[in-house]
């Protein structure tokens, strides 16, 4: 009831819905993660960005996001494939931002090969970054969420957490695992003010995907628009990309009081991909 009253008071006062909250978003220096971080910051949450990049570019990004939304923004360069660095990232966020109210596990990597040719070291890396890092971050953040009686854990899974594609054994296994982990955490926190859910994007128009489209267009000697349509036609019935802004908006909704009883859900944003 206190959380509901607080949320109503913020709206009544004309405040932003997540003012006073603090978030970690992994893999947030570009693409989906940055879209999520921008959306949370726009609603007043202070944010820890995480990822890789040139120091000057990251410094500018931290400054720009903070200035644009008038919130505190910090950065952790933690390699989330490593347990000790994930734990230190959460500790640093608690110290720098005062708490970790919202944890968005977004970072991921991909490798494509048939199972018999799939390098064992790539399997290990994909599982470490796409699945184990989620567990380690949740494990580190949960105690202080429980202490304060409120939290939102949002795992960015994938349409590949619900269905499979050839050549993506590690990614598909990891994303299916993320959805399973999401359900367990949701059950273990069911009687608390903490929720845990997964978002399952299909094709999202990110800089990485744009580069893939450009490479396909050059390889096949077709226009960029044709390359886009070829990419979408294979999986996504809407023939339209989702956007980082749409994923960010859903993340904000899952942090709201309206979503307090959405627990353990795997929510597709995939243009109908998994409806087939």
Would you name the residues annotated as active-site residues? 171
How is the chain split among helix, strand and coil, in percent rounded to 5?
55, 15, 30
Phi (first) and psi of residue 22, to 5 degrees: -130, 140
Q: Is 217 left (phi over 0), alpha (psi -120 to 50) or beta?
A: alpha
112 is written with which tokens? 């494509």
Query: How are beta strands 22-25 and 46-50 bridged, if at all?
Result: parallel
Alpha-carbon span 191 to 204, nearest angstrom: 34
74 is written with which tokens? 């910090």
Neighbours of 23 (CB within 10 A): 29
Answer for the pair 248, 38: CB distance below 8 angstroms, yes or no: yes
CA angle 28–198–36, rounded 5-degree value? 25
Task: List the beta strands (DSSP E) in 114-211.
Answer: 151-156, 194-201
């Amino acid at each position: 009831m206190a959380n509901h009253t607080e949320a109503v008071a913020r709206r009544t006062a004309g405040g932003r819905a997540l003012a006073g909250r603090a978030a970690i978003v992994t893999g947030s220096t570009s693409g989906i993660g940055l879209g999520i971080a921008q959306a949370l910051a726009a609603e007043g949450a202070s944010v820890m960005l995480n990822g890789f990049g040139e120091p000057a570019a990251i410094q500018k990004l931290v400054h720009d996001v903070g200035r644009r939304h008038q919130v505190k923004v910090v950065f952790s360069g933690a390699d989330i494939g490593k347990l000790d660095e994930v734990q230190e990232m959460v500790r640093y966020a608690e110290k720098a931002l005062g708490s970790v109210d919202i944890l968005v596990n977004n970072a991921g990597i991909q490798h494509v090969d048939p199972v018999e040719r799939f390098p064992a070291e790539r399997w290990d890396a994909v599982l470490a970054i796409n699945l184990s890092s989620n567990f380690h971050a949740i494990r580190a953040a949960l105690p202080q969420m429980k202490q304060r009686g409120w939290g939102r854990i949002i795992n960015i899974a994938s349409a590949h957490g619900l269905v499979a594609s050839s050549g993506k054994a590690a990614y598909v296994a990891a994303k299916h695992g993320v959805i399973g982990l999401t359900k367990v955490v949701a059950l273990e926190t069911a009687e608390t003010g903490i929720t845990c859910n997964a978002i399952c994007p299909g094709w999202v128009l990110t800089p990485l995907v744009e580069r893939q489209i450009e490479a396909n267009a050059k390889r096949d000697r077709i226009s960029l628009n044709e390359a886009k349509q070829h990419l979408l036609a294979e999986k996504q019935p809407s023939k339209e990309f989702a956007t980082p802004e749409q994923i960010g908006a859903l993340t904000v909704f899952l942090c709201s009081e309206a979503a307090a009883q959405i627990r353990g859900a795997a929510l597709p944003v995939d243009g109908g991909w998994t409806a087939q």
